[in-house]
Structure 1
Amino acid sequence: MFAEITRRAAVLLLMIGMMAAAAVALGGCSNEEASLSGEEIRQESGGKVYYEIFVRAFHDSDGDGIGDLRGITKKLDYLEELGVEGIWLMPIHPSPSYHGYDVTDFYGINPDYGTLDDFKDLLKEASERDITVIMDLVVNHTSPEHAWFKSSASDPNGKYRKWYKWIGPSDPVPISAATGYPAYKEYGDSKYLGIFPGSLPDLNFDHAEVRAEVKKIAAFWLELGVGGFRIDAAKHIYEDLEEDKTSKEAAAKNIAWWDEFRAAVNKVNPHTYIVSEVWDDSAAKIGPYLKPFNSSFNFNLANEMTWNASGESASNLAFSLDRIHGLYDRMSSSSFIEAPFLSNHDTNRVMSELNGNLDHAKMAASQLLTMPGNPFIYYGEEIGMQGKKPDEYIREPMIWSQKKYEGQTTWISNKYNALTASVEDQMKDSDSLYSHYRKLIQWRKDIDALRHGDIKPYSISHAAVVAFRRETEKEKVLVLHNLSRKEQLFQLEDSNEFDTLLAGSKDNIILSNNQVTLPPYSSAVLE
């Protein structure tokens, strides 16, 4: 499972080399529609810690066992105390599924989760705590139960027929770029394009009415007070088929659409923060999306930080990030904001990937929370919740207490987390994973270079120590993570550039005469 560091470095360097070509091919580095400069966007929207919530699993306000919006509102104080400044809500729209990624009404609230008034209350209460709320925007496809699709399927001559893509029963069926399975699904005597599992029909973004409707949907939620969106399946608007993966035309059409979307969003609120899901190993394919989007989730970095922690072996992640970020900055007019994470609702939980090792979980968290940009925490990650696919088991109920607790959700039984130390217990324990997350988040608030600084490499000879600089114009710090079970003693580079210990995760960290002593599984920030 774990690749060698040298292999990772070689792959990353290859990716960097490919990105320049992508920049030329896909063009455009400025966001002419934005009324804010790139640096203003980065200062305003960057540096926040976001918390991803699966509403159904989080907190129940009415005793039916299903998490809801009022339940989240009741837990805003918990999130504020943890240090969270942003919330990403997984889909909250009406849907026939438990997960909500097959929407039947883009203007409504899932009745399991409450009402539109409940959502407005959540936005108001979050705003009073300076917590931004962003929401999943799932517009690549709809549910087959959506009224648009039902009309499209039943009336070949009707208004909504062209809102989806149809072929005849004997037409050849190409392969989906997303799954490797047939891209068209049978429906009566026709077939519709649906590249994802579950019979989800793709919207036809070549149709002007579809594009206008999606912009209208975004405006509706922004005007209510939503601070932005997480864009689901962002690269699959036109990358529908297997042959589209290498098609410059498909990539260019994707970017053109999202540029159009960004321009429309900026007319409603130029401060809108948008983070995209462009799930790809190639930075060359990710980079162009950072013109219309502020951020794109960094899946490669998630793997690298997890590998580092699990293997107790440091990669030079700052070397690759520094170079990739340089190009991303140019492509986005310096508005690009990194979006690091460890796990999310589509991946095995990081604690399971770390085989339940608490020390490794703390070191993974330490890396995450000292990264540039907006770190994202998946709900329950801060208490070490576990889970492996299928998806239901990476979305288990949040563990608030091991005692009877009225807000506990029970939408599915806890296969992995029945014995997980609860929020209640961990809040009382200064050495718990929860306390570690809270401490590292506070570092970001206290040290501006951690919150807003760039990342730069720093050479160090110890294979178990991750080292990098974080820099703003006014502040420069050195971040050190001892990933190993052994104490690490080493000299800094021969200058006295860093001579003050600003923060340490353990009491017995020593900095003296340019020499650092790091206890096992510890982190330090030097100035």
Structure 2
Amino acid sequence: MRSRSSKRAGRLAGLSLALLLASALLLSACSDSGAQDKQDQAVAPKTEAGNAAAVKEPEGFAFTDTMAPMGHSSGVWYELFVRSFNDSNGDGVGDLNGVTNKLDYLQELGIKGIWLMPINPSPSYHGYDVTDQYAVNPDYGTLDDLKRLLDEAHKRGIKVIMDLVVNHTSSKHPWFLDSAKGKDSKHRDWYTWAEDKEISLSSLGPSGQPVLHASGKSHYLGMFSQDMPDLNFDNPEVRQEMVKVGQFWLKFGMDGLRLDAAKHIYEDFQSSVDDPQTSVKNKAWWQEFRQGMDAVNKDAYLIGEIWDSMSVVGPFLDHALNSGFNFDLSKILLDSAKNERANEVGSTLNRMFTYFSKQSAGAFVDAPFLSNHDGNRVMSEVGSDPNHARMAAAMLLTMPGNPFLYYGEEVGMEGMKPDERLREPMIWAADRKSDGQTTWEAASSNGNTVSVAEQLKDPNSMFNFYKKLISWRYEEPALGDGGIAPFEIANEGVLAYGRVSGDTTLLVVHNLTATKQAVDLNANGEVPFTKVRFQSVDEGIALQGGQLELPPYSTVILQ
């Protein structure tokens, strides 16, 4: 990885095609007029894959990094746990009608898409061990309730995707109960039985965990737990059934699917982690699944949980998934906010997007996030410091692609592992009882969290800070669709990066620190940015002649 001191400042590039053309021109020009021409052209992308346009910049300033094409952003998304979100009937458990009741709240925040955590029947509170892929958990309501939710969301311009658990089922699923009866059962080969496949009982999972569990005299594969037996995707009947499941929900009205444990379809054992065939088979399956979904809705949004390195994620984007959650970026942003130090996000994403774009022929859309149901909540991760939480949000919501928020993040909810503490009831009212507050679990981590009702009335609340940042993305499409490029700043606590789309060039600058910062934007050549387009604070920001003053914990977008 290149260090901050070794990078050239203020660099930006265009799409792959434009870069090849620009390189040819530079090689020709160097023989006649030397290196000066390198600062005369900047290449900037349009959001459509495979198109590019050249953008003239004032002398002394040039972005020259490769910036890969990416698909269109569909807006800011919101992950919600139905059980904890809102209770419409007073039984203490969140439900689908409760979500419908809060669509206006989500619309006011600026949400364009909802990800529903598992809503299928399940014996567990979290729902990731499904017993019927074609039904709705009765705790949450009925198929009619779900249809109403979809209809009302669509009226408001909000898309809805649901968690689809493909890798495994519940051990109480009728398929598994039949499979466990013996070798002659109809669904025997729908699961992996060690004795049938001659798998050593000493075999361990990818993380060294036990993955073979006893059932009578046989042992079955359950990578996550004995309650979640893995389906056998080498069996074409299983693959056909799971395609059928996905098609069912798209026909029902879902706008897409969040695909749980996407990389574990074939990555089950330690021996499979580094086996090249694992990636090949995973990719082939998800391409098959994509084709099945395209038969119903070619615009269906498929996003996968692929908690791994860039090189592992890339193949899933090849005519298969639209997005993979950007786990690496989450850590980068949270660490910067906590430590009040700039990061290399511009160059890191630049490199990552180049690879993803090549894998997907420019069609992928990045999916940045700060926290989700499996990780510590943002406010807790930054030590309960609201300034650090705001700066993390400001970085997230100026990233390319489809940012995902986790319910309650916008009001500063807290929660640290174990998982139950990450999934506590949404805090709607100050009394912790009214306005659909759920009570299935104590909100023990959120005794000091200011309620939604109170924050809606406070213009300086965390909610209204998130609402402001989200509104920027819709006022300026380059924040969603544009590429990203590094911009060097000498100040350790100041982070900057370019955002470019077509003829629009923006510079995002964050003061991550508790002290006022004076920033020389012209340190590496005169910059063209003369206008403050957006600012996160009302006072203390000044821009003149390339000299920028930033108050503590503030963000500015220049044009």
TM-score under structure 2 normalisation?
A: 0.86
> Which structure 2 residues correspond to residues 250-265 of structure 1 after superposition, within 5 A?
250-265=278-293
Distance 1:363 1:150 in 2: 50
**Greater alpha carbon shift after TM alignment, 112-121 vs 418-427:** 418-427
**Once structures 1 and 2 are overlaid, which stretch shifts more, 196-205 or 172-181?**
172-181
Of 262, 273, 276, 2:304 maps to 276
Per-residue deviation at 1:215? 0.4
For the 8 Å contact 2:206–2:272, the answer to whether it is kept is: no
1:336 to 359, 364, 370: 364
Question: Shift of residue 276 of structure 1?
Answer: 0.6
Q: Give the equivalent residue in structure 2 for 1:468.
A: 497
Question: Which residue of structure 1 aligns with residue 555 of structure 2?
Answer: 523
Using the TM superposition, give the Cα deviation of residue 474 of structure 1 relative to its aligned residue in structure 2, in angstroms: 2.4
- Equivalences for residues 356-367 of structure 1 within 5 A: 356-367=384-395
Match of 1:413 among 442, 451, 474: 442
Structure 2 gaps of 5+ residues are: 8-47, 52-68
CA shift digits 1:241-268 (9 cap, x unpaired): 0111111011110111101111111111
Q: CA deviation at 1:43?
A: 8.4
In 2, Cα distance between equivalents of 1:412 and 1:151: 34
Name the SS of the counterpart of 1:85 in structure 2.
Answer: strand
Structure 2 residue aligned with 1:310: 338
Secondary structure of the residue aligned to 2:111 is coil
Aligned equivalent of 1:101, options 119, 128, 147: 128
Note if contact 1:5-1:315 (Cα within 8 Å) is conserved in structure 2: no
Per-residue deviation, 1:155: 3.8
Name the aligned partner's letter for residue 500 of structure 1.
K
Aligned match of 2:544 in 512, 517, 526? 512
| Structure whose alpha-carbon radius of gyration is higher | 2
After TM superposition, the structure 1 stretch with the greater mean CA deviation from structure 2, 340-349 or 414-423, is: 414-423
Spell out, residue by residue over 1:174-218, the C-alpha distance to the aligned partner (whole angstroms, 9 max, x if none). Answer: 444344212211001100111112431000000011000000000
Residue 74 of structure 1 is aligned with which of 71, 92, 101?
Answer: 101
Task: State how far apart, in whole Å, the 2-side matches of 1:462 and 1:176 are.
Answer: 48
Q: How big is the shift at 1:168? A: 2.9
- Matching residue of 2:61: none
Alignment of 1:85-124 (within 5 A): 85-124=112-151
Offset of residue 343 of structure 1: 0.5
**Aligned residue number for residue 409 of structure 2:** 381
Gaps of 5+ in 1: 11-36
Residue in 1 that maps onto 2:249: 221
Maintained 8 Å contact 1:372/1:455 = yes
Q: Contact 1:38/1:332 (CA < 8 Å) preserved in 2?
A: no
Q: Which of 432, 449, 473 lines up with 2:461 in the alignment?
A: 432
Deviations 1:58-115 (A, max 9, x none): 0000000100000000000000000000000000000000000000000000000000
Q: Which of these residues, 470, 482, 494, is aligned with residue 441 of structure 1?
A: 470
* CA offsets 1:214-247 (integer angstroms, 9 cap, x no match): 0000000001110111110001000110111111
- The whole-number CA distance in structure 1 between the counterparts of 2:72 and 2:88 is 31
Q: 8 Å contact 1:173–1:183 — kept in the other structure?
A: no
Cα deviation code 1:385-406 (max 9, x no counterpart): 1111110000000000112414
SS for the counterpart of 2:219 is: strand
What does residue 31 of structure 1 align with?
none
Q: Name whichever of 371-380 and 504-513 sits farther off.
A: 504-513
Please say which of residues 92-101 and 500-509 is displaced more in the overlay.
Answer: 500-509
**Relative to 1, partners in 2 of residues 1:106 and 1:68: Cα closer, same or farther, differing over 3 Å?**
same
- Tell me: CA distance 1:308–1:287, structure 2 relative to 1, closer, same or farther (3 Å): same
Deviation at 1:372, TM superposition (A): 0.3
Distance 1:338 1:198 in 2: 33
Quickly say closer, same or farther: Cα 1:152–1:45, change in 2 above 3 A: farther
- Per the alignment, residue 181 of structure 1 pairs with 209
User: What is the correspondence of 1:22-41 to structure 2 with a 5 Å cutoff?
Assistant: none
For the 8 Å contact 2:72–2:480, the answer to whether it is kept is: no
Q: Percent same amino acid among aligned pairs?
A: 49
Matched residue type, 1:459: E
* Secondary structure, counterpart of 2:123 in structure 1: coil
Structure 2 vs 1, CA of residues 519 and 406 (structure 1 numbering), >3 Å: closer, same or farther? Answer: closer
Distance 2:74 2:367 in 1: 10
**In 2, Cα distance between the equivalents of 1:125 and 1:45?**
24
Alpha-carbon shift at residue 448 of structure 1 (Å): 1.4
| Change in CA separation of 1:39 and 1:77 when aligned onto 2, cut-off 3 Å | farther
Give the conservation status (yes or no) of the 8 Å contact 1:469–1:476.
yes
- 1:495 matched to 2:522: no
TM-score normalised per structure 1: 0.91
CA distance in structure 1 between the aligned counterparts of 2:385 and 2:526, rounded to whole angstroms: 37
Most deviating of 418-427 and 353-362: 418-427
The residue type paired with residue 310 of structure 1 is K
Q: Which amino acid aligns with 1:323?
A: R
The answer (yes or no) to whether the contact 1:174–1:242 under 8 Å persists in 2 is no
Aligned amino acid, residue 437 of structure 1: Y
Report if aligned partners of 1:168, 1:189 keep a CA contact under 8 Å in 2: no
* Range with greater deviation from structure 2 (365-374 or 195-204): 195-204
Q: Within 1, Cα distance between the matches of 2:199 and 2:317?
A: 37
Distance 2:353 2:70 in 1: 16
1:125 to 131, 147, 152: 152
**Cα deviation 1:328-387 (Å, max 9, x = unaligned):** 111101111111000000011111111100000000000000000000000000111111
CA contact (8 A) 2:71 2:364 kept: no
Q: Give the CA deviation at 1:44.
A: 7.4
Contact 2:429 2:435 in 1 (8 A): no
AA paired with 1:391? D
Contact 2:478–2:499 (8 Å) recurs in 1: yes
> What is the one-letter code of the residue matched to 2:491?
H
Q: String of CA shifts for 1:429-466, please: whole Å, max 9, x gaps.
A: 11111111000000001111102101111111111111
Deviates more, 1:323-332 or 1:66-75: 323-332
For 1:226 and 1:38, the matched residues in 2 are separated by: 26
Q: How far, CA to CA, are the matches of 1:193 and 1:408 in structure 2?
A: 39
CA contact (8 A) 2:70 2:365 kept: no
Q: Aligned partners of 1:179 and 1:94: how far apart in 2?
A: 29
Counterpart of 2:294 in structure 1: which amino acid? N
In 2: Cα distance, 1:241 partner to 1:174 partner:
11
- Structure 1 residue identity aligned to 2:555: S
Structure 1 residues 273 and 171: alpha-carbon distance in aligned structure 2, compared to 1, 3 A threshold: closer
